[in-house]
């Protein structure tokens, strides 16, 4: 029996590419150029499995037509708002993701953004590298204290909880959160956190607001102009979730008008395009979607995709099926 044909859309950690190449008739993307819509559409007609990342947009239009060959999309990443799940389902295409293995690293990165935004580390580094540091002085690059402040978390899933734990037990912060479903107060207390009813309740009292909910239609522009207005004056927004959760234009206005003090962002509405007005602001820390970018985690993510695809073609239930 011939091996299933598999497309890995981007360069993956070498150990994972080796596993996939041994098991399957695997096409790798050696020069790591992102595929365009036409190439992705073609891939769905050529390969038994396509293994996409966040840079591969798979809207409903790409699934149109009767002759899709792809039976499984093994997504590299926990978030899958770049895939039209309803369209995949309609065509009988199974979709899997990679939960769990990126929890710690993404929570770490959210902490890094919070600290960097509060303590102005980006500004300091830019100044120093530009040769513009004139020496120590009491009023130089004075930031905002983190320890003991209140952090508000939107979305109390795996990453939200890991972030709460870091904030509370690492930095003595009060942690409040909003989550669509009710969380057992005993469970929330394990992370030093308290659930509040409405998003606005969280925004009103938080010195830092960190987003940890999924992207996609349900949460699109959850942070809009009204919600920025509801934030505590002088607060910070941290986003390691998805760019579409934030109305970027409203965020820029809130920052420009000084309604909020700063932001730490790892994700954007139209990656990799970042609005010039955002890039021009010194009080925002901007990272290029690095949440899970550690050797350990990226390898674990790839191995998880491999596990899902191997199980699928062995006729078993893939462990991380989302559609």
Q: Which residues are catalytic?
A: 242, 271, 289
Q: Which CB, 112 or 203, lies closer to ligand 8YV?
A: 112
Stretch 272-291 residues interacting with ligand 8YV (CB under 6 A):
291
The residue among 100, 111, 95, 205 whose CA lies nearest residue 152 is 205
Stretch 288-317 residues interacting with ligand 8YV (CB under 6 A):
291-292
Q: What CA–CA distance (Å, rounded) separates 204 from 198?
A: 10
Decide: is 264 part of the binding site for ligand 8YV (CB under 6 A).
no
Residue holding tokens 């037509």?
A: 65
Choosing from 54, 118, 162, 250, the residue that interacts with ligand 8YV (CB under 6 A) is 54
Q: How many residues bind ligand 8YV (CB under 6 A)?
A: 9
- Least distance (Å) between residue 12 CB and ligand 8YV: 10
Q: Which CB, 54 or 113, lies closer to ligand 8YV?
A: 54
Q: Which CB, 192 or 214, lies closer to ligand 8YV?
A: 214
Decide: is 78 part of the binding site for ligand 8YV (CB under 6 A).
yes
The residue among 55, 7, 5, 57 whose CA lies nearest residue 28 is 7
**Residues facing 239 on adjacent strands:** 211, 265
Q: Which CB, 116 or 239, lies closer to ligand 8YV?
A: 239
What burial class does residue 174 get, using C-beta atoms within 10 Å of its C-beta: 0-12 exposed, 13-18 middle, 19+ buried?
Answer: middle
Q: What CA–CA distance (Å, rounded) separates 270 from 259?
A: 24
Find how far residue 192's CA is from the centre of its chain: 23
Choosing from 74, 79, 122, 262, the residue that interacts with ligand 8YV (CB under 6 A) is 79
- What residues contact residue 37 under an 8 Å CB cut-off, 6+ apart? 57, 61, 62
- Least distance (Å) between residue 305 CB and ligand 8YV: 10
Task: Return the structure tokens found at 275.
Answer: 């609005």
Q: What CA–CA distance (Å, rounded) separates 173 from 175?
A: 6
Residue holding tokens 């107060």?
A: 185
Stretch that binds ligand 8YV, among 31-39, 74-82, 144-152, 278-286 (CB under 6 A): 74-82
Stretch that binds ligand 8YV, among 15-23, 41-49, 72-80, 130-138 (CB under 6 A): 72-80
Name the residues that contact ligand 8YV, by CB under 6 A.
Answer: 53-54, 76-79, 102, 291-292
């Amino acid at each position: 029996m011939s091996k299933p044909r598999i497309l890995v859309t981007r360069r993956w950690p070498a150990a994972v590419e080796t596993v996939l190449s041994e098991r399957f008739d695997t096409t790798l993307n050696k020069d790591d150029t992102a595929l365009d819509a036409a190439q992705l559409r073609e891939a769905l007609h050529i390969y038994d499995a396509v293994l996409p990342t966040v840079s591969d947009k798979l809207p409903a239009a790409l699934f149109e037509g009767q002759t899709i060959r792809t039976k499984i999309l093994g997504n590299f990443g926990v978030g899958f708002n770049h895939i039209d799940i309803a369209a995949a389902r309609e065509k009988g295409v199974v979709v899997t993701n990679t939960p769990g293995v990126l929890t710690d690293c993404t929570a770490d990165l959210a902490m890094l953004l919070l600290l960097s935004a509060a303590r102005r580390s980006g500004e300091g580094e830019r100044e120093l590298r530009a040769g513009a540091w004139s020496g120590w002085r009491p009023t130089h690059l004075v930031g905002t204290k983190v320890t003991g402040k209140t952090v508000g978390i939107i979305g109390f899933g795996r990453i939200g909880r890991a972030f709460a734990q870091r904030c509370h037990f690492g930095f003595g912060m009060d942690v409040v959160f909003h989550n669509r479903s009710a969380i057992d107060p005993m469970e929330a207390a394990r992370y030093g956190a308290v659930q509040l009813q409405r998003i606005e309740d969280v925004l009103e009292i938080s010195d830092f607001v960190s987003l940890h909910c999924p992207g996609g239609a349900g949460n699109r522009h959850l942070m809009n102009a009204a919600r920025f207005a509801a934030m505590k004056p002088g607060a910070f927004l941290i986003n390691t979730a998805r760019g579409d959760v934030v109305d970027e234009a409203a965020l820029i206005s809130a920052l420009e008008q000084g309604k909020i003090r700063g932001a730490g962002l790892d994700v954007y509405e139209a990656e990799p395009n970042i609005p010039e007005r955002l890039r021009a602001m010194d009080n925002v820390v901007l990272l290029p979607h690095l949440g899970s970018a550690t050797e350990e985690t990226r390898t674990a993510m790839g191995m998880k995709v491999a596990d899902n695809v191997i199980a699928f073609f062995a006729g078993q239930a893939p462990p991380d099926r989302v559609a």
